[in-house]
């Protein structure tokens, strides 16, 4: 919704001085969005929250000047109620700047799934952290950085590619309105990244131009093998997130 606010052609004709906070949750904003929000709405302060249904939305928060300083982070755990751990092999707790599965322990965690003992057992570690299914790390200041969902990591010939990272670089291009990146089957490499791109209205955007833009921002193996240009907004789930699964089913092959 904040992206749509920034892209609305008539936004400058309205008095938006009463807009004081622009908060987000459910998915991280690309860094370029945070910078644009500050430019487009200088009186409004961006913020970001992170939590799960299983933690009753309790988790981390990144607010205002802190968010501006670390726009790629979803913030610090909301102490004293929340602890965050990064899990490695065997649920070992990893140190700062080590990449693993994010886990949350809080008084707000659910006790279990209704009549589903197996899923409940898989959800919790032995020390009562909820496994989030997200991959990330904590920096030296205790800020959480989410790299991607475990299931949305694309493995191209043994190289891990974060779909979220690639999408963020697409969004840094001023001509891109929406983008979704996913892994498509490949006989030689296992899978390769594919991008579905919706240009902004009136923008003429070519694959050649996009590849040139991304060449200085992403390693070569992370640049999508195929780029498909959409002529209508990308499908979305009820939560507002782009329905990557539907796009993958339609375009992966």
Averaged pLDDT in 10-residue chunks for the chain of 253 residues: 86 92 81 86 91 93 91 93 96 96 96 95 96 94 88 84 91 94 88 95 93 95 96 88 88 83
Q: Note whether 85 and 143 are same-domain residues.
A: yes
What's the whole-model pTM score?
A: 0.69
**Segment (H or E) for 161:** strand 159-162
Q: Note whether 101 and 165 are same-domain residues.
A: no
Of the three residues 92, 122, 150, the one that is the final residue of a domain is: 150
pLDDT score for 51: 93
Task: Give the whole-angstrom CA distance, residue 2 versus residue 46.
Answer: 10
- Number of separate domains in the chain: 2
Q: Note whether 28 and 130 are same-domain residues.
A: yes
Residues contacting 74, CB < 8 A, separation 6+:
28, 48, 49, 50, 59, 60, 61, 62, 143, 144, 145, 146
Of the three residues 150, 175, 205, the one that is the final residue of a domain is: 150
Task: Give the whole-angstrom CA distance, residue 29 versus residue 132.
Answer: 19
Q: Note whether 124 and 58 are same-domain residues.
A: yes
For residue 22, give both structure tokens.
């622009």
Of the three residues 124, 150, 176, the one that is the final residue of a domain is: 150
pLDDT score for 240: 80
State which residues form the domain around 202: 157-251
| Burial grade of 113 (CB within 10 A; 0-12, 13-18, 19 or more) | middle
| Burial grade of 12 (CB within 10 A; 0-12, 13-18, 19 or more) | exposed
Q: Note whether 103 and 128 are same-domain residues.
A: yes
């Amino acid at each position: 919704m904040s992206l749509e606010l920034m892209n609305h052609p008539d936004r400058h004709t309205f008095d938006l001085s009463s807009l004081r906070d622009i908060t987000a949750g459910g998915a991280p904003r690309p860094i370029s969005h945070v910078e644009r929000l500050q430019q487009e709405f200088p009186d409004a302060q961006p913020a970001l929250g992170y939590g799960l249904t299983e933690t009753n939305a309790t988790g981390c928060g990144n607010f205002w000047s802190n968010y501006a300083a670390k726009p790629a982070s979803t913030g610090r755990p909301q102490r004293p109620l929340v602890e965050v751990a990064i899990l490695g092999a065997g649920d070992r707790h990893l140190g700062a700047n080590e990449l693993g599965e994010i886990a949350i322990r809080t008084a707000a965690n659910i006790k279990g799934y209704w009549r589903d003992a197996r899923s409940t057992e898989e959800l919790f570690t032995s020390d009562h952290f909820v496994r989030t299914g997200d991959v990330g790390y904590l920096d030296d200041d205790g800020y959480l950085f989410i790299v991607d969902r475990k299931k949305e990591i694309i493995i191209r010939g043994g190289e891990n590619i974060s779909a979220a990272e690639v999408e963020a670089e697409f969004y840094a291009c001023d001509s891109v309105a929406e983008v979704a990146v996913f892994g498509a089957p490949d006989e030689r490499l296992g899978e390769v990244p594919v991008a579905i791109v919706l240009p902004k209205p009136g923008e003429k955007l070519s694959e050649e131009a996009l590849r040139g833009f991304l060449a200085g921002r992403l390693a070569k193996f992370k640049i999508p093998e195929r780029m498909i240009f959409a002529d209508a907004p990308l499908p979305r789930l009820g939560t507002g997130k782009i329905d990557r699964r539907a796009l993958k089913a339609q375009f992966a092959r």
